[in-house]
Chain A
Amino acid sequence: SQELEQSPQSLIVQEGKNLTINCTSSKTLYGLYWYKQKYGEGLIFLMMLQKGGEEKSHEKITAKLDEKKQQSSLHITASQPSHAGIYLCGADGNNYGQNFVFGPGTRLSVLP
């Protein structure tokens, strides 16, 4: 089965600082998805990466997928308290997207 690891497990940063969260897969990724979860709420889709070397940005969040399609990073520039939450990477286990699995999550706190 697909296994996803994330690092770090948790992160505390000062407002305005940049940060990076990593996601590593045990298998080649057909699609890599980043989600954010606010405490006590459901997950919100951030972005999806499918091609090796692909990079996408949304506001101050940039995600990249490496050429081998086994590693992804999520970078937040000039962090704000609104960025706080749990970030999870997710992946299709196969092309049909039925066996959708998630990494354990990275808990981000942003201090004002």
Chain B
Amino acid sequence: DAGITQSPRYKITETGRQVTLMCHQTWSHSYMFWYRQDLGHGLRLIYYSAAADITDKGEVPDGYVVSRSKTENFPLTLESATRSQTSVYFCASSDRLRNTGELFFGEGSRLTVL
């Protein structure tokens, strides 16, 4: 199905383990974003990408790594998970060429770090 999908939807891991959250979009949008949502903090931008092989840090990038080898994929990796990274992670994409400003969001990945 067309759209933006995240996987896994739910993940429980232990402190120190590596975790990768996947994001895939079928619209060929140039821009992709990763946010985390926490109570009291709202949505905070972790990383974004303007195109394949172009990524940049957002507000809270520490402890995260991203890559964008293909336009449609934007995986987020926690190299050594910490409890403070327990959160709901949202991926989004946007076609800035149309300048509508609309971000299309995935359904979220709920990560728990024990």
Contacts and interface: CB of A to CB of B under 8 A. Distances in A.
Nearest to A101: B45
Contacts of A1: 59
Contacts of B104: 45
Contacts, number: 60
B100 to A, nearest CB: 7
A100 B102 contact: no
B90 interface: yes
Nearest to A42: B105
Given A100-B48, A102-B43, A92 B59 contact: no
Nearest to B105: A42
Given A42-B90, A97-B94, A97-B96, A48 B42 contact: no
Interface residues of B, number: 27
B33 A100 contact: yes
B41 A45 contact: no
A97 B90 contact: no
B56 interface: yes
A9 to B, nearest CB: 10
Nearest to A1: B59
B42 A31 contact: no
Contacts of B45: 99-101
Interface of B: 31, 33, 35, 40-43, 45, 48, 50, 56, 58-59, 90, 92, 94, 96, 99-108
Interface of A: 1, 31, 33, 35, 40-45, 48, 88, 90, 92, 96-105
